[in-house]
Amino acid sequence: MPRASDAPRRILGIDPALRVTGYGVIDCAGRTVRLVEAGIVNPRTDRALEDRLLDIHRGIAEIIEQTKPDVVVIEELYTTYKNPMTAILMGHARGVMCLASAQAGVPVHTLGHAHVKRALVGSGAARKEQINAMVTRLLKLTSAPKPNDVSDALAIALAFANMTDHVLPY
Amino acid sequence: MPRASDAPRRILGIDPALRVTGYGVIDCAGRTVRLVEAGIVNPRTDRALEDRLLDIHRGIAEIIEQTKPDVVVIEELYTTYKNPMTAILMGHARGVMCLASAQAGVPVHTLGHAHVKRALVGSGAARKEQINAMVTRLLKLTSAPKPNDVSDALAIALAFANMTDHVLPY
């Protein structure tokens, strides 16, 4: 998806989960990127599935309302969990995240895990430390964002930014 | 879950899907059951996933608002699809149905497919025709509800009713 202008664009990356969902918002304009905000959505895990979904939906809806992204990029779920029901339950969570984006009128994109790694460090089998290091470097942070879910979410946003604006240094 | 009274109770059964989602609302009081309303939620399938989720969420939310069920029973998803991604995508749809229920403050219950069949006709391997016949008989209909998704949704509601009120004739 080529872009004609260098108008700044705000990307919300989400690393979806039923427990700790990381999110990261970046602005990119031309070849520069900037961290806007990042954190986690942390539903109370002692509650029924539908109440956790309520927490997750509300959390993502609030982040979208407050940061007003131009696009939401939600990582694709694996199909390789030992227990297939885990993937289905994660699908429930990812579904309410997609819904929150659609309700706000923000387009949703999907990136696979290996795609994100490859975009950031050149290999779909990159280690977590390599991803952390690249996120830290690109966003000019003093250390890798914690917890890892936040770093992963920023990696998703940066990988998407690179698809259109080539923000990575290679 | 034993109940002390014969107060009428309204049950919304849902057979979740990304394309045609069947729903059926029944009232049960003591050993009697009555059809209130049934139909399908039919998102436009040529749209992006998040827009289909928007249609499904809106459809289920409207049914809940209009029929005011005391409980929503949503069938559990299989884990045995040939393509595991199908189950994950169905999870997205089921997630927004659970969310619509939680947003309306209506408790959600889950029943497995085999459980529904066993509750209605005594065998988890019952054929579709047997389920249709039992739904038709219990709700005193002149023919089986169409499409099958509607009959399946009513079967889910009836199976749940039988767990508490023993509405089935055995």
Whether residue A6 lies in the annotated active site: no
Structurally, chain A folds into a number of domains equal to: 1
Q: Which domain holds residue B151?
A: 9-165
Task: Examine residue A111 and state whether it is found in any structural domain, yes or no.
Answer: yes
pLDDT tens-place string over residues A61-117 = 999 999 999 999 999 998 777 788 899 999 999 999 999 999 999 999 999 999 999
pLDDT tens-place string over residues B66-93 = 999 999 999 999 877 778 889 999 999 9
CB contact (8 A) between residue B91 and residue A96:
no
Task: Examine residue B4 and state whether it is found in any structural domain, yes or no.
Answer: no
Instruction: Classify each residue of B102-133 as buried b or exposed e, where b means 16 or more C-beta atoms within 10 Å of its C-beta.
Output: bbeebebbbbebebbbebbbeeeebeeeebbb
Task: Examine residue B3 and state whether it is found in any structural domain, yes or no.
Answer: no
Task: Examine residue A2 and state whether it is found in any structural domain, yes or no.
Answer: no
pLDDT tens-place string over residues A47-62 = 999 999 999 999 999 9
Residue B119, domain CATH: 3.30.420.10
Q: In what helix (H) or strand (E) does residue B133 lie, and over which residues does it extend?
A: helix B128-138
Average pLDDT over residues B9-14: 96
Report the DSSP beta bridge partners of residue B27. B10, B34
Task: Examine residue A170 and state whether it is found in any structural domain, yes or no.
Answer: no
Res. A167 pLDDT band, cuts 50 70 90: low
Task: Examine residue B99 and state whether it is found in any structural domain, yes or no.
Answer: yes
- Provide the number of CB pairs (under 8 Å) joining chain A to chain B: 88
Which runs of E-coded beta strand occur in B17-70?
21-29, 32-41
Sign of CA dihedral A64, A5, A35, A128: positive
Is pLDDT of B123 > 90? no
Is pLDDT of B150 > 80? yes
Position A46 scores a pLDDT of 87
Position B78 scores a pLDDT of 83
In chain A, residues 134-153 whose CB comes closer than 8 Å to chain B = none
Query: Nearest CA of chain A to the CA of B138: how many Å?
Result: 30
Whether residue A37 lies in the annotated active site: no
Task: Examine residue B22 and state whether it is found in any structural domain, yes or no.
Answer: yes
Both tokens assigned to B142: 């002149």
ipTM: 0.91
Position A1 scores a pLDDT of 47
Task: Examine residue B1 and state whether it is found in any structural domain, yes or no.
Answer: no
Is pLDDT of A7 > 70? no
